[in-house]
Structures are given as structure tokens and as C-alpha cells.
Structure 1
Amino acid sequence: MGRVPRNGRRSHYAEAITQRNGQGGREVSTTGTKRVYGGMSAEQRVAERRAKLIDAGLNLFGSGESAQVRVKDVVAEAGLTERYFYESFKDMAAFFDAVFECAADMIESQVNAVIVDAPEDGFARVSLALRTTVELLAADPRLIRLFFVEALGKGDRAGAHRNDILVRAAENFLHWSTVGTPSGGDGRDARLKAFAMSGATSELLIAWADGLIDVTPAELSDFLVGLYWRANLP
């Protein structure tokens, strides 16, 4: 079938969040005494609870019932109580931002790790980055809904994130196409192409997430790579 897969495997998302939030960090000292319980400092326990909440948020925002997500739903999914939600987040808007940022950082870090040894050729690097991004999204449909329905598409949170996502994606296109190459050339032209690719890629992924285009992940990757190639013809 060519539609977005709906039952992808779980990613190592929680582990990535824990690392991002300082799991294994320094011990916290209170009145001269290090508060360590079960081999974990107070700071480490806060980071662990935050990671559980964010992973719960991905499960909930990545589901079809995301518009109704409340604090009590998040803590129930995480196996915690409400006091621990407010330990790390002011409200649901701040929580969604944190879930989104962690997911975006995770994808970017995995893509950058894949292209680090790629040939010093902009087209080869961008092609690999696009294919890797689509593969990561296809492997975890929660991410597709989070980015391209909730943050970019028809979700209630779309407006606040749309410009940030497009700018972030454009900067990634610039980074992928120029890493390891000497500076020079028409920087303005490069930015125009990067923002054009950012907008086109985002709209295609939104349509894919909504089931408006019936293509496999491989077919979508091929089209995006071809689009980038045509945009860079002399």
C-alpha cells in the first residue's frame, strides 16, 4: 500500500530524551548533603520523569485523538501524577513545544550522523538526508502526525509553529548542501532554493500525512530527491 504507515515500531525516543535532558548529570547537593536515592540524584530523577512525560506526549499527540489531550491524560500515560507534570512544564502549550523540540532534535541528530561520512557533494548529502528523514518518519508514524498534522497541518497548534518549522528546514537544507564545501557562490540563490525546498517538502509531507497522496516512502523520497535535483539545474 502507498499510504503513510499507521503502526510503525516504537523508536528509541525516550532514551534520546533522557540523554538530551542530562541523564547521568551531576549530583545535586542540598545543605551540604548529596541527595542520591536508588543510585540517582534529584536532578537525574527530574530528567527521568521529564523524559517519561515527553515520550507520553509523543504517544498522545501522535494519535488521532490529539486535540483532546489534557494534563491528566499525559500523566496517566507516563505513569506519574500531575505534580510531576508541573515540575517541568508551565502548561500544555509549553509541553507541546518540548515534545516537538525533542522530536525535531532527534531526527536532525540522526540525519546528521548519517551524512557525516557522505561524499563532499551537496546533491549526494541532501539526497541522503531526504531519504533518511522519510525513512525515520515512516518508521514512527507518531512523528508524522506530530510534525505534519499538529505542528504544520490542520491541528490546533499549527499556526504557532509553521514559520519556525519552515525556517528550521530551510537552514537544514543549507547545512546539508554546503557542509565540507568552501564558501562562495551566490548565497542569496542558495537561500531561495533552500526555502523553496523547505516549503515544497513540508507541503508534500502534510499531504502524505493526510492521505491525500498515495505513495510509498521510497516513492516519496525519489520524488523529493528529483525535486531537489531539478531546483539546482543550471
Structure 2
Amino acid sequence: MEGRTAATTRRGETYAGLSRAQRAGERRARIVASAVQLFGTRDYEDVTVADVCTTARVSKRYFYEHFDDRADLLLKVNREQNEWLLRGVAAAVPAEPASLAEVFRPALHILVGMLKSNPESARVIYVNAPRMESRRRGVLREDAQFVAAVLRRAGGTPRDQVGYDRTLLALVAGLSEVIIDWIAQDMTGDQDDLAEHLTGIALALAATAVSL
């Protein structure tokens, strides 16, 4: 009896060398990859839970173990993709930049390069999820806080914190709109030119922010 119980437990917990938790994690990763592919190539309204499950090769039962519905999936995928992008941008900024240009130029060249190399992720971050207004506004505020944290590497404390925060919000909103326009044009044009244009916009607004 003990032998049969142990064997049953092993069969339930381990399959193909993976634990139950590992299998769940692997299924979630496939769902997320499927979502990036589908939301990155179609409009949000044209993607169903069934589409995601078919592409990910999982049943709806497993989908609902991780996500409440299609909107919840897109919100979580958007958050994860945005965090991936910000990690790459943060890594490009020197630990002790000597100027604002040393903050923004490498960061924005990396950002544009990452988006260009991952067009489906770019669409998920900047096109589909922003249609969900609450998420769009949340992302802008998160990104403004990220920029504030990066600017602290350059030193200085704003005298007018409210004005500073609002200027950084305007900065990330403006950059986002330029990037959205670029994505809408199928990312045509020289990416280095785009990065330099974004840098010019960022430097102009950041200079205003740090003078407050």
C-alpha cells in the first residue's frame, strides 16, 4: 500500500522530470509568449482567450489558473514587458553620469534598439495596452518615477517637487507619443536618428525639471 501511494504521489507531483510547480511555470511562460505574439500583431479586440490558448498549446483550465480573463492577461503581460524594457534602459545609464546627456543618450538609444529588435513587445507596451486607459496612465506615472530615480544619479534635489514631477510626467508622455507614432509607421526610418530626436526632447524637458 505504501509503495502504491508513493508511486501515485510521484506521478502526480513529477511528470517528464518536472515538478507540478515547474509545469505550471512552463505553461504560464507559454501563455505569456503567446500573448506577446498575438497582442503584438493584432488589435486587442481581435485576440480571444481561445486564440491565446491554442497558440500556447494549453487548455482554458490552465489559462484561468494564472489569469482572470483577457484584460487581466494583457495588463500583466504589459507590466512584465515594460519592466523588461526599463531594466535594459537602466543598465545603459552610467552609475555616476556627468551630465543629463550621459543619462538620456545611452538610455534612449538602448530603448529604441530593444523596441526595434522586439516589435511585438513594442506593440504590446505602446499600442495595445495603452488603450486600457487606467493602465496607460499608470505606466506613465511608473515611467516618470523611473526617470526621476535615474536622474538622481546625476545629483541635485528639486526645489519645487510638484513642478518637477509634472515635468517628468510630461517628458515620458511626450516620448511615448513619438514612439507610438514610429511604431504606427512600422518602425521605418533610421533608429539612431529617432534616438537622437528623443534625446533632444528629453534633454529640453529634463533641463526644465532640474531647474525647478
Partner of 2:90: 112
State how many pairs are aligned. 197
**Stretches of 4+ aligned residues off by more than 3 angstroms:** 212-215
Instruction: Tell me the amino acid that sits aligned with residue 205 of structure 1.
Output: I
Instruction: Tell me the secondary structure at the aligned position of residue 143 of structure 2.
Output: helix
Partner of 2:41: 63
TM-score (norm 1): 0.75
Instruction: Tell me the secondary structure at the aligned position of residue 185 of structure 1.
Output: coil
In 2, Cα distance between the equivalents of 1:63 and 1:134?
Answer: 19
Which runs of structure 2 are paired with 1:1-234 in the superposition (5 Å)?
A: 35-115=13-93, 117-121=94-98, 123=100, 124-152=102-130, 157-179=131-153, 181=155, 184-188=157-161, 189-211=163-185, 215-231=189-205, 232=207
Q: 1:134 to 1:90 in 2, by over 3 A?
A: same
Q: Does the CA-based 8 Å contact 1:170-1:191 persist in structure 2?
A: yes
Instruction: Tell me the amino acid that sits aligned with residue 90 of structure 2.
Output: N
Q: 1:43 to 1:122 in 2, by over 3 A?
A: farther
Larger radius of gyration: 2
Q: Does the CA-based 8 Å contact 2:43-2:128 persist in structure 1?
A: no
Give the alignment's Cα RMSD to 1 decimal: 2.4
Instruction: Tell me the amino acid that sits aligned with residue 30 of structure 2.
Output: K
Q: Does the CA-based 8 Å contact 1:122-1:176 persist in structure 2?
A: no
In 1, Cα distance between the equivalents of 2:82 and 2:27?
Answer: 20
Instruction: Tell me the secondary structure at the aligned position of residue 42 of structure 2.
Output: coil
TM-score (norm 2): 0.82
Structure 1 gaps of 5+ residues are 1-32
Instruction: Tell me the secondary structure at the aligned position of residue 206 of structure 1.
Output: helix
Shift of 1:79: 1.5
Identity percentage of aligned residues: 26
Q: Does the CA-based 8 Å contact 1:111-1:129 persist in structure 2?
A: yes
Q: Does the CA-based 8 Å contact 2:148-2:168 persist in structure 1?
A: yes
Structure 2 gaps of 5+ residues are 1-8
Shift of 1:118: 4.3
Q: Does the CA-based 8 Å contact 2:96-2:154 persist in structure 1?
A: no
Instruction: Tell me the secondary structure at the aligned position of residue 179 of structure 1.
Output: helix
In 2, Cα distance between the equivalents of 1:94 and 1:108?
Answer: 21
Shift of 1:136: 0.6
Instruction: Tell me the secondary structure at the aligned position of residue 157 of structure 2.
Output: coil
Instruction: Tell me the secondary structure at the aligned position of residue 90 of structure 1.
Output: coil
Q: 1:111 to 1:149 in 2, by over 3 A?
A: same
Instruction: Tell me the amino acid that sits aligned with residue 84 of structure 1.
Output: Y
Instruction: Tell me the amino acid that sits aligned with residue 157 of structure 2.
Output: G
Q: Does the CA-based 8 Å contact 2:95-2:153 persist in structure 1?
A: no
Shift of 1:141: 0.9
In 2, Cα distance between the equivalents of 1:170 and 1:130?
Answer: 14
